[in-house]
Structure 1
Amino acid sequence: MTATGASENVTARGGPGGGPWWWARRRSAVLDVLLALASTVECMAEGIPFAHTSGMPVAVGVLLGLVAGPVLLVRRRWPVVVVLTSIAVIPAEMGALLSIVGLYTLAASHVPRRIIGLLAGMTAAGTVVSTFFSMRQDVTVQPEFHPPAWFVVVMALAVGLVLTAPPVLWGLYVGARRRLVESLRERADGLERELSLLADRAEERAEWARNEERTRIAREMHDVVAHRVSLMVVHAAALQAVALKDPEKASRNAALVGDMGRQALTELREMLGVLRTAEGAVGRGPAGSDEPERLAAVASRVSRQAAGSAAPASAESAAGAGPAGAPADAAEPAGEGPWLVELGELVEQSRAAGMAVELSVQGDEGESVTADDAGPRYAARVEQAVYRVVQEALTNVHKHAPGARARVRLALRVGEVAVQVENGPSERGATDAGLPSGGNGLLGMRERVTALGGAFVSGPTDAGGFRVSAVVPVAAAA
C-alpha cells in the first residue's frame, strides 16, 4: 500500500489479480471505466453553466469537466487523488459523482482514519460553503421569495452532510468487513498450515515409535535366542572333541544340544506367531491406524516370553548334571521376570558348557549373600535389565573368549543395582570361537541400561580380557 492508500493487486483469495494494471478483476476495471465516463459527462455538462456564470468561454468549462471526470479511473489506486480533485472542483459546482465515489473508495481503503476524517471534513466544508453562496445568490435574484436568515445556513449544512456522510459511513463499513474477511482468511490459512505441521510431527512421532518398538522386539528376540543358540554351538564343539574319547559324555552333550535346539525352535515359533497374530489384527483394522500400539503389545508379549527363557534354562542345567541328560521341568517364577534370583541358574548353564564362572553377590551393607537372596526385590524392569546384561556378557565370553574364566559381581544397594562381568584371556589361545555375531549385543545392553537412567561401560582390561559394568537406579524404573 502506498501513501495515497493504494492496495496491492490481489484477488479475493489473496493471490495475484487477473485484471489489467491495478485492477484485481476485469469486472472491476469495467465498473471504473463506466463510472469515469458518467463522471466525465456530468462534469462537462456542469462546466457549461459554470463558464457562463464566471464569464469564461464554454470550451474552458467543458475542458475542465473533461479533465476532472476521468480521475475516477484511478480511484482504487490513488483514492486520495480522487478526493482532492473533487474538492478542487467544488467551487465550479461540478463533480458530485466524483465526490461521492471518491469518498466511498477512500473510506473503504487502508488509508489512516485521520486522513479520511480530514479529507471528508474538507469536502463537507467546501460543499457547505459552495451551497451557501449558491442558494444565497438564488434567493437574491428572486424578490418574491424571502426565507428566514437561518434557512440558507441549514440547507447548506444539510446538503453538505447528505453528500458527505453516507458515502463515508458506507465505505468505512465495507472496509471493516473486507478487513475482517481477510483476517479470517489469514487465520484459516494459518490454522491449515499449523494442522499440516502437526500432522507431519504426528507422522514423525509415529515413525519414531514404530522404529523404537521394532528395535525393542529385535533386542528381546536376540536376548532370548542368541544365548541358547550360542550354548548349543559350544556344546556341539565339545561333543566333537570328546566323541571318540568319552562316548558317555558325548551322549550327554548330544542330548543337551538336542534339548536346547528344540527349546530354541519353540521360542522362535512362539515369537513369530506373536508377530503373525499382530499382522492379522492390523489387517482387520484400518491400515497403520494402531501400528505403534500393536508394536508395543508385540514387544510386551515378546518380553514376557523372554521372561520364560530362564525356566527352560534350568532344565539345561539339570540335563547336564543328570546321568541320562534328560531335561527336568522348572517352575517359572511369578511376575514378568527374569529375576535376579535366577542368575544362579544362568551361571550353571555356562558352567555346564565348560566355562569357569564365579558368582558373588553383595547386600545393602556390603556383606556377601547368596544368589537366592537377590530377588525379586526390585522393579521388574530393573531386574530384567541386570539379568540381560549378565546373560549377554556370558554369551559374549562363549563367543569371543572360549575357555576363559569369568567373574560375575552383583551389588544390591538401596537406590541402585550394580553388576560387573569380567573375563580373562582365552586359555585355549584363540580369540574367537567362530560363532556368528550381529554386533548388537553391547548396543542392546547399553540401550537397556540407559533407558532406565543408568550408566553402562564396557571395554578391554589390562590383563587381555573384557569387562562389562552397569549401574541401574531403582527409583527411575519405579
Structure 2
Amino acid sequence: MHSAAASARDDLRSRVRTLFRRRPWFAVVVDVVLALGCALADPEIRTAFAPGEIYSPLSPSLSGWLTAAVAMLLLFRRRFPVAVAAAVTGGLLLGTGSVLTLSVAYYSLARHAGPVRRIRTVVVAASLGLATVLAVALVHLHRLAPRHGLSASYQGVLLLVVALAAVVLPVLAGLRPLGRHPGWWETRRAMLFDVSLVVLFPLVNPAVILVSAVGGNPLGLPAPVVAALAVLGGLTVVLRRRYPAAVAVASIVLLPLVLPPLSALPVGLYTVAKYGRSRRQLLVISGAAAAVLLAWSFLADASMVFLLAMFLLVSMVVAPVLLGMYRGAKQSLLVNLRERAERLEREQHLKEAQARMQERARIAREMHDVVSHRVSLMVVHAGALEAGAGGDNEVARKTGALIGQMGRQALNELRDVLNVLRMDQPGEQDAAPSQPALDDVTTLVEESRSTGARIDLDITGTPRDLDADLGAALYRLVQEGLTNACKHASGAPVRVEVRHGTDTVRVRVENDAPQGPSGTALPSGGRGLVGLGERVGALGGSFTSGGLPGGGFAIEATVPLTGR
C-alpha cells in the first residue's frame, strides 16, 4: 500500500511538472495576473446589475464563485486552449463569465492552438462560441431592454460590440500575433513590461495619478483638463523607450498637478539615464527636475522642509539616475562584448576559409607535380609504343593507342579536379568538372572490353534523365566495380546490370571467382567502396557489397527517383 501511494504521488508530480514544463517565468506571471484579474473583476461586474437583470439558473453567490473558478482556468490557456475556450463558453449557459474572460480565452485559442489543423479548429470553435455568445447576449438583452428602455437599434449595436470584443477581434489578434520586434520595442517582453508598468505600477498608473490630481490644483485649471493631463501623463510611459526625454519632460511638467510621491518622474529619469542620447541631456533634465522638486518642497508649507527636499531629491532624482546609468552602462558593455564576439567569430571563419584555400592549393600543386608528371610519361611511352610497333604488331599498336587515349582522358579529368581545388571562392562554378552520366556506362564497358576482359552488359527498363549527382554516382559505381574486378579477379567474367524502374534505379556489378593469382600489382587505397556507400547514402539510396557463395564479388546500389 505504501509503495502504491508513493507511486501515485510521483505520478501526480510528474503530471504537474509536465503541465507547466518549458514555460518561462514571464509567461507564468502573465497567466497568473490575467487569471486573478478576471477572477476578481468578473464577479464585481455582475454586482453592478440589479437582481434578475442577468440570466443565471443558479443562485447569485454560487454564480459568482463559478465565475471566479472559470476565470482561473486561464492559467491553462497555453497548454489546453481549446478546452479552456470550451469551458468558458459553456459557463455562459450557467450565467457565469464575462466579455473579459471570453476575449482572453478566444485569443489564446487562436494563438496557442496546435499547428495541426489549426485554422479549421479555430474557425469551428470560434463559430460555435460566437453563436453561443450571441444567444446568451440576446437573453440578457431581453431582460435588460424593458427596464432600461433600450431600442432595437441600440440592442443591435450592443450585440455587435459584444461579438467583436468577445470573439472576433481576439481571434483575429491571435491568428496574427505580434512580431519579434513589435513597434519600437526590441522584444515582446519589453512591450509587455511597459504596458504592465502603466497598468500595475502606482507611480505611472493613470487611475492613481488621476486620484492624486483632482485633489488639488495649484495652477487653477479646470478639473476636466487636470484629469485629462494626469491620465495622458501616465499613458506616455509606454513611449519611454522611443522618446525618453519627452516622457521625462512631461513628468516634470505634471509635477505641479500631481503629488511627487505619485509622479512618474523617477521612471522618466531612469529611462533618460539608460536610453538617453547624451550626458548633457541627462544633466539638464535632472537639474530641471531637482529645481521643480525643491520649489514644490518650499511651497508645501511643511515643518521639515530640508528633510523633505533631500528625501525627494534622493528618491526621485539621484537614485533613478544612478540606477539608469548603471543599467545603461551594463547594457552597452553587453552589446559591445556581443559585437566583439561576433566579430572574432567572423574573423575566425575567414581564417579557417583562408587556411582551407591554402591547403587545397597545396594539394593541387602536389597532385599536378606528381600525378600529372607520371601520367604524362605514361602517355608519351604509349605513343612511342604505338609509333614503334607500326604495322608489324597490330596488337601492340592498338594497345599503345588505347593506353594513350586513357592517359589523355585521365589528364583531362585531373585538370578538372585541380581547377576545383584552386577555386578561391566556394560558389565559383566556371571550373566545375564535367560529370559523367549513367549513359556513359556503355563506353566504359567497351573500354574495359578492349583490354581483353569478358564483360556482359544488361540494361533493362526505360532510361530517363537523371540528376547530375545521381548519374555520376552510379557511373562511378560501375567504374569501381570494373576496376576491382581487374585488380583482384583478372580474367574472370564480369556482369553489369542496370535496371530502370518506375521510381528507382538499380545498378549491380559482379564478377566470378578468379581462376588464379592476378597478374597485376595495382595499388589499392581501400576507400573506394566506403566512398561509394557515402555517395549513395547521401542520395537516399541503399548500397551493398560483399562476396558471393561461389567465390566472386558483387556491389549493388538502389537509388529512389521520387522527389528528385
TM-score tier (shorter): 0.3 to 0.5
Structure number with greater CO (CA < 8 Å, separation at least 6) is: 1
Give the TM-score, by structure 2 length. 0.38
